[in-house]
Structure 1
Amino acid sequence: MSSLSSLYWPPRQGLHTLQKLPIPLFASVMGWGGLTLVWLAAEAHWQLTPWVSPLLLLISCLILLKIMLALFLKWRYAPQHLLEEFHHPIRISFFPAISIGLMLLAGPVGHYFPNLAVSMWWLGAIVHVGLTLYVLSSWMHHGRSQMIHATPAWFIPVVGNLIAPVAGVNYAPIEVCWFFFAVGLFFWPILKVLIFNRVMFHHPLPEQLMPTLFILLAPPTVAWIAWLKLQNLPIGADLDAFSHILFGFACFMALLLLSQVRYFMQLSFAFSWWAYSFPSAAFSVALFHYADYSGYALFSLLGTLGLTFTTLMVVYLSYKTSKALMQAPATPPAS
């Protein structure tokens, strides 16, 4: 646990290292939060006593608090550097990972502290709306964005809107949840076309951003989970046509990404590797849910494989991240 305890906070380095805080590390909150949800889904599916998920929830909340504190201190002691990253056409997309983390963790936190969970969700939702509006406005009016800036990281604000109803159905009026779902569902295909246009007809993604291709798996997967929550379908109920469409497309995207494994295996470690974590976690949750609704043992097996893969990956990424920050905090891997 020593590497986890110092995760994203280099020991004995002082506040000057905050200027080098890698913005893609914000996605680690989504990775750990997603892993917590996978274990919750697995424990419910296999009817196990929950003891792993509470531990993961604690770690996820600690990481979220550390990153929020680091962001505050960076704003306090290195505001110019923070503003530069906030106005960067690619890195700006990683800032909403914090508001996503708040909404993501509000669900499991609600099992233990309902009032705190409500506050977390509303804070995350309000902040995320503001960040989404800012990002879209910067694309529309500031004239800085070019096709070379189009990366799958642009999906992060959109995915956040789709995540909101997953826990929001328990904390907010249903109309608010439908609002978030509508925003995410509308902008997802638009951005998908832009991303495929970039990778097919323009400059290829740089190596350090290749892992962000995994984010393509997140929108259909999260949209499917959110759709089930909005419909309030009991386990065993028949899924409608739109549910099957979303889940089918998520499965296809998973197969497409699996076919690219040979390319991902050749990449050197970068903090952007955290982009692997949340989509894998979300898809594993979807597999367990689909097994619950369909009764097919195959999806139960696939969900278990996804759980194993996601757990090992998040632990490995945490180790590599902590090692990189402690050994060379001033010159971290490319992000």
Structure 2
Amino acid sequence: MTNAATPQNMMSATSSALGAMEPRTARGSIKNLPVNLFAAVMGLSGLSMGWRFAHTAFGVDRMVSDATGLFATLVFIVLAVGYAAKLLRHPAAVRAEFNHPIAGNFFGTIAIALLLQSAVLGDYNSALGQALWVIGTIVTLLLSMVVVSRLLGGSGNPAHAVPAWIIPGVAALDIVVTGHHMPMAWAGEVLLLSVAVGSVLALVMFTMIVTRLIQHEPLAPAMTPSLMILVAPFEVGFTAYTNLTGEVDRFAALLFYFGLFLFVVLAPKVFRRSVPFGAGWWAISFPLAAMVNAALKYASVHPTLPLKLLAGGLLMALTAALFVLTVRTLRILFNGRLLAS
């Protein structure tokens, strides 16, 4: 990361990298497949896990969970094949995306997608789930090392500190979210390592990002949905912490409620007609899914009517939001805008 680019140029490049969409007539190319689309797998997998938890804790029919999980797996396969084709045919484009000071962090969505798919598919085939979790864990920890190494290289531009920086830290916490039941003898130590890495990275990145949002220019409109990523460390942290300790205590409650508070603050800034639709809108999906799963778990431990209504309402809202995102994404895929140059 260098200071050579001006904030204006940086925002322009970032908007392109995050899939900002303007009407275009150019033919689509796999070269322009944005890595941040893997956030769709994260959100859909998280939604499937939410409906599964609702089935286990509250007796809701499991059909929605199974259907959503199957769709999430299909999306993951399609994106994995597509991005592999991009890597083979346009390796320079992939390198540029990976080395981008902002878009590069979205490679963490691939790692998180693997981890969440391990939880979705592991319910049907434990060996497959364990294999995906091990692969996802290795990829996540390696990516975390790369991110920290880049930051410690110096010459960073404060304007680059945007919510996407949190993704590698959240990915490390997701190792615990999806792997607390792993039977391997060494899994417990990996979970402790992951909590250590994820919690400290998330805390440091959150502080840097909030400082940037306060002291520098606002995010470009196409990046506005990524503000919702700020909710993720607290809600994912809630699930990781409760999985690790085995209980929902006061500290867990503080994490859950602060994440909920951030959602209420950020929602009016994100859900506005002036924010253009593009692949970057999928950045809202996993933070909201994490909040829904945290709310369901909290309501199962504290089964008061308001908390049950909150958890149920959030689950329905997430389902509707991801349905809309899916339809709109398919629309810009088929009209050529998604992969336009």
Check the 8 A contact 1:36/1:56 in 2, yes or no: yes
With the length of structure 2 as denominator, give the TM-score of the two structures. Answer: 0.87
Instruction: Give the alignment of 1:6-155 within 5 angstroms.
Output: 17-141=29-153, 143=155, 145-155=156-166
Q: Which stretch of the first structure deviates more once superposed, 99-108 or 209-218? A: 99-108
Match of 2:251 among 242, 245, 257: 242
Structure 1: distance between partners of 2:336 and 2:258: 41
- 2:317 corresponds to which letter in structure 1? F
Q: Is the alpha carbon distance of 1:40 and 1:204 closer, same or farther for their aligned partners in structure 2, counting shifts above 3 Å?
A: same
Structure 2: distance between partners of 1:258 and 1:96: 24
Q: Which stretch of the first structure deviates more once superposed, 201-210 or 240-249? A: 240-249
Residue aligning to 1:185: 199
Check the 8 A contact 1:64/1:98 in 2, yes or no: no
Structure 2: distance between partners of 1:161 and 1:86: 18
Query: Does residue 283 of structure 2 align to residue 278 of structure 1?
Result: no
Match of 2:211 among 194, 197, 208: 197
- 1:41 corresponds to which letter in structure 2? F
Structure 1: distance between partners of 2:268 and 2:66: 34
Structure 1: distance between partners of 2:180 and 2:299: 22
Deviations 1:246-271 (A, max 9, x none): 1221222122123535x634312121
Residue aligning to 1:161: 172
Residue aligning to 1:4: none
Q: Is the alpha carbon distance of 1:57 and 1:330 closer, same or farther for their aligned partners in structure 2, counting shifts above 3 Å?
A: closer
Q: Is the alpha carbon distance of 1:48 and 1:78 closer, same or farther for their aligned partners in structure 2, counting shifts above 3 Å?
A: same
Check the 8 A contact 2:45/2:120 in 1, yes or no: no
Residue aligning to 2:10: none
Check the 8 A contact 1:210/1:264 in 2, yes or no: no
Number of aligned residue pairs: give it.
Answer: 313
Deviations 1:163-216 (A, max 9, x none): 111121112521111111111111112111111111111121100101100001
Structure 1: distance between partners of 2:118 and 2:124: 10
Q: Is the alpha carbon distance of 1:272 and 1:317 closer, same or farther for their aligned partners in structure 2, counting shifts above 3 Å?
A: same
Aligned partner of residue 95 in structure 1, secondary structure: helix
> Which blocks of at least 5 consecutive residues in structure 2 are unaligned?
1-18, 20-26
Give the superposed CA RMSD. Answer: 2.0
Residue aligning to 2:233: 219
Percent of aligned positions that are identical: 31
Check the 8 A contact 1:39/1:52 in 2, yes or no: yes
Structure 1: distance between partners of 2:268 and 2:304: 24
Q: Is the alpha carbon distance of 1:54 and 1:189 closer, same or farther for their aligned partners in structure 2, counting shifts above 3 Å?
A: same
> Which blocks of at least 5 consecutive residues in structure 1 are unaligned?
1-7, 9-14, 234-238
Check the 8 A contact 1:325/1:332 in 2, yes or no: no
Q: Is the alpha carbon distance of 1:205 and 1:16 closer, same or farther for their aligned partners in structure 2, counting shifts above 3 Å?
A: closer
Residue aligning to 1:297: 305
CA shift, 1:126, in A, is 0.3
Query: Does residue 178 of structure 2 align to residue 170 of structure 1?
Result: no
Check the 8 A contact 1:106/1:118 in 2, yes or no: yes
Q: Which stretch of the first structure deviates more once superposed, 116-125 or 56-65? A: 56-65
